[in-house]
Amino acid sequence: MTVGLVIVSHSAKVAEGTAELAGQMAPGVRIEAAGGAADGAIGTDASRIAEAIEAADGGDGVLVLVDLGSAVLSTRLALEELLGDEVRGRTVIAEAPVVEGAVIGAIEASTGAPLAQVAEAAAGAATMPKARD
Amino acid sequence: MFSQEQAVAWTRATAARVEERATELTRLDQAIGDGDHGINLQRGFRAALERLPGAGDGDLGGALKAVSMALIGKVGGASGPLYGSFYLAMAKQLGTATEVDDAELAKALRAGYDAVVARGKAQPGDKTMLDAMGPALDALDAAVDAGQPLGEALDAAAAAAEDGMRATIPLVARKGRASYLGERSAGHQDPGATSTHLVMQALADTVNGR
């Protein structure tokens, strides 16, 4: 079993696309998309995020990648109000950009690394050089 | 006293006002946010009406939890988890009671306020819904402590919410999407404070039979 990932975005397409992109690099890692509000609107849905965290959790923990504003609020609400202590205790919200963090986190998870290490790897994506020579 | 029937009527009144004022809330949000506050709350309160138990069916906790869960799932923006936390904390505080006294209602609203603070990590003066909710609950507590009837106390709370809402106009936003605008957010009334005034006014009107 590996750490699982959940991608929370205001856009269902961003969440699904990011999960697809990250999954390509990390076969065997559970990656769940929880994007958009109910009825397909732009936004986030704490109930849906809670379900995705449960689906991604294989017992080794879950790293949640979030985009803006309500993505963080809805994820915290899901953890504090909708999920049990056990799942909450092994779930971390990544301090990382959603796409890069998901790809790097998924790769780290695929090695069987523990949650803290996966979270740290994803956080490293924030300072990853891109256009710099 | 505040009853389950009044909690149901309060939700219906809030939903009706959200329908009436959705365009205005969205217009305020277009100025300094992502322009969806009215439509988001409209979607949330429509779902709340679907889940809301009937008047006299169950306890205060059940009615307010139904509102909370609808808002959490359906609103989409930050106001979903924030208002969702507000109603959920009220639901927990009131629990299985079907009717509570004025002080207990004030205490439950205060628990709701504290939950919004804990969820959103905003401070008074950050140009958020707290800037309407905080003064409203201070006025409510003072009036209830002074022994005023609940209707009058809630009118004082709604008036304080309105003052707090107007006082957000010159503020620079420090939370949410509006904070990305920095100084440019000044000069606009906060949409969250506006919807909070609407919620408090609906409560006052419900209890006063208006």
pLDDT in tens, B108-132: 999 999 999 999 999 999 999 999 9
What percent of chain B has a predicted confidence (pLDDT) above 70?
100
Size of interface A-B (CB pairs under 8 A): 74
Which residues on chain A are in Cβ contact (under 8 Å) with B176? 69
Chosen for mutation from B36, B75, B129 (greatest number of chain A CBs closer than 10 Å) is B75
* Residue tagged 């639901």 (tokens): B91
Number of folded domains that form chain A = 1
Domain ranges of chain B: 2-207
Of the residues A49, A74, A76, A80, the best mutation for testing chain B's interface (the one with the most B CB atoms within 10 Å of its CB) is A74
Chain B residue whose CA is closest to A44? B76
Note whether B70 contacts A: Cβ–Cβ < 8 A.
no
Q: What is the pLDDT of residues A32-51, one digit of tens each?
A: 999 998 878 899 999 999 99
Residues A29 and A24: their CA atoms lie apart, in Å, by 10
Q: Which is more confidently placed, B34 or B8?
A: B8
What's the token pair of residue B103?
A: 């002080």
- In a domain? residue A24: yes
| Cα A101 from chain centroid (whole Å) | 9
Q: Is residue A21 part of a domain?
A: yes
Residue A93: its H or E element:
strand A91-93
CA-wise closest residue to B165 among B139, B141, B137, B130: B130
Across the interface, of A38, A41, A74, the residue whose CB is closest to B81 is A74
Position A133 in a domain = no
C-alpha–C-alpha distance, residues A52 and B105, integer Å: 35
Tell me: the pLDDT tens digits for A81-117? 999 999 999 999 999 999 999 999 999 999 999 999 9
Class of domain B2-207 as given by CATH: mainly alpha
CA-nearest residue of chain A to B89? A81
Residue B19 CB partners (closer than 8 Å, separation 6+): B42, B45
Spacing of C-alpha B92 from chain mean position = 16
Indicate yes or no: CB of B77 within 8 angstroms of CB of A46: no
For residue A36, give how far its alpha carbon lies from the nearest alpha carbon of chain B (Å): 7
How far apart are the C-alpha atoms of B98 and B109, rounded to whole Å?
A: 16
Domain of residue A42 covers 4-127
Phi, psi of B76 (to 5 degrees): 95, -50
Asked whether the beta carbons of B63 and B7 are under 8 A apart, the reply is yes
Query: What was the ipTM of the complex prediction?
Result: 0.83
Please list every residue in chain A whose beta carbon sits closer than 8 Å to the beta carbon of residue B77: 37, 43, 69-70
Tokens of B181: 């605008």
**Minimum-distance CB partner of B82 among A45, A47, A73:** A73
Measured CA to CA, the distance from residue A48 to residue B80 in angstroms comes to 13
Which amino acid would we find at residue B37?
A: H
Chain B CB within 8 Å of residue A88 CB: no
Let me know: does A33 contact A15? Beta carbons within 8 Å: yes
Q: Are A106 and A119 in contact (CB under 8 A)?
A: no
pTM as predicted: 0.92
Instruction: For residue A95, give the CATH number of its domain.
Output: 3.40.50.510
